[in-house]
Amino acid sequence: MRKLLFASAAVLSVFASCSDDKNDTPKPPTTGSGDTVMVRGVMSTNTTWSANKVYKLRGYTYVAAGAKLTIEAGTKIISTKDSAGVLVIAKGATIDARGTSEKPIVFTSGEKTKTPGDLGGVIVAGAATWNNNHTIIEGAVDDAFKNFGGSNDADNSGYLQYIRIEYAGKAVAEGDEVNGLSLYAVGSGTTVDHIQIVRGLDDAFEFFGGTVNAKYLIAYNCADDDFDFDDGYRGKIQFAVSVKDPAFVDNKGTSGDISNNFEFDNSNGKKEFTITPNTFPIMSNFTAIGPNNATGTRTEFGYGMRMRRGAKFLLANSIVAGGQKAGLDIDNDSTASYYKQGISGLKNSILHAVTKPFNVDLLNNTALLTATDLQALVTGRDATLNVASASDIQLTDAFNNAAPNLAPKSGSPALTRGTKFEGQLNDAFFSKVSYIGAVDPTNDWTKASWTVWNK
């Protein structure tokens, strides 16, 4: 039987329609074949979505402050293109979505022919600190739920574990979008691990400030940036994968922006690049696979890593390969200065790109850092190996987009160079593994049953 669920079967105060009209009025329950529950509006009390039903998001669905949404392992949540449903966990609300390897929670398209944008995405808003670069949540979220951020860096928004988000992405206007998973000022008390974003229309993961930590993340065939960090994000991430489809990018409109494996910003350019707290993620054991100039590669692809607008970063023990325009691009004086001083670093990693490994751009003081200077710092001080060919990294089948195998072969520099967990990486959060990149060749977590490929 099909049902129409408004909040937890209660009267709602705010509604989101299937046509994105947030002022729609509730409609009576409808019946039909199957056991599908139609969901929209506001959940103001604790609610559970059970695995024996399918939940269909119609427009925007909100979990209000003080309420908790529990999603059982194995639950399926769908959306269709006419509504591109968005689930919003508002500031002060919590989500308990704990799937398992055998029973992941899946957000996906309900269309017969599935395409990116059939689903809007998932947004979680927390009360951790951020730098006020963005002051409201992007993507036409209702005014009652658009705020995020606070002063509690240990804020707990709940659990997100063993989840797939497929065919997401919603562009309300240029630069005003819903990503696969958007985390707004989410605090370190929140648990995030084993999340895969598949065939998204915009960014896969975007972190807007906050301090949330994460492990085991996969961005697969998403159109824009796979890991996008903004607004003073300062969390830790380990074991993460980015794989690009050479033929799939988003519509850039007039922005001239490009698709990257990583993009780091402190400001969006409308505010000073040095606003605090600074964007400064601490990361280890990533494998990022770009288009590598495969046949049909779109011209909108940019860099393996794009650092700009005052962002700081530390990426260690990682592989970045196949970037089109450059492997590591640094823009703007403040970002360049942070790298030159050793505050930022690409350390003990392996880097490859198609056109050139290093690029420095948009500096007012062009003598501050050149591409030659950057190369010397990365390969010298930071002990990263720059290879001329992606094949030199010796990954099993990294550029087979339908079934990528990211495990290093015997003799790969990912296995022979060793790893370093020093300074900020000498932290209990990080597993002190011996291999560079995201994948242990003896136990490949990316092939577990909760993941999907060839989409």
Provide the residue ranges of all domains of the chain, joining segments of one domain with +. Answer: 34-234, 270-281+294-454
**pLDDT of amino acid 203:** 96
Q: Is the pTM of this model over 0.75?
A: yes
The partner residues of 445 in beta bridges, in order of sequence, read none
CA proximity to 78, closest of 109, 99, 103? 109
Give residue 34's pLDDT: 52
Residue 175's nearest CA partner among 221, 147, 206 is: 206
pLDDT value at residue 252 = 64
pLDDT of residue 398: 98
Widest distance between CA atoms in the chain:
69
Give the model's pLDDT for residue 19: 36
| Grouped pLDDT means (10 residues each) for the chain, 455 residues | 43 36 35 72 97 96 98 98 96 99 98 97 99 95 97 99 97 84 99 99 97 99 97 99 95 68 93 96 99 95 97 99 98 98 99 98 96 98 98 98 98 98 98 98 98 95
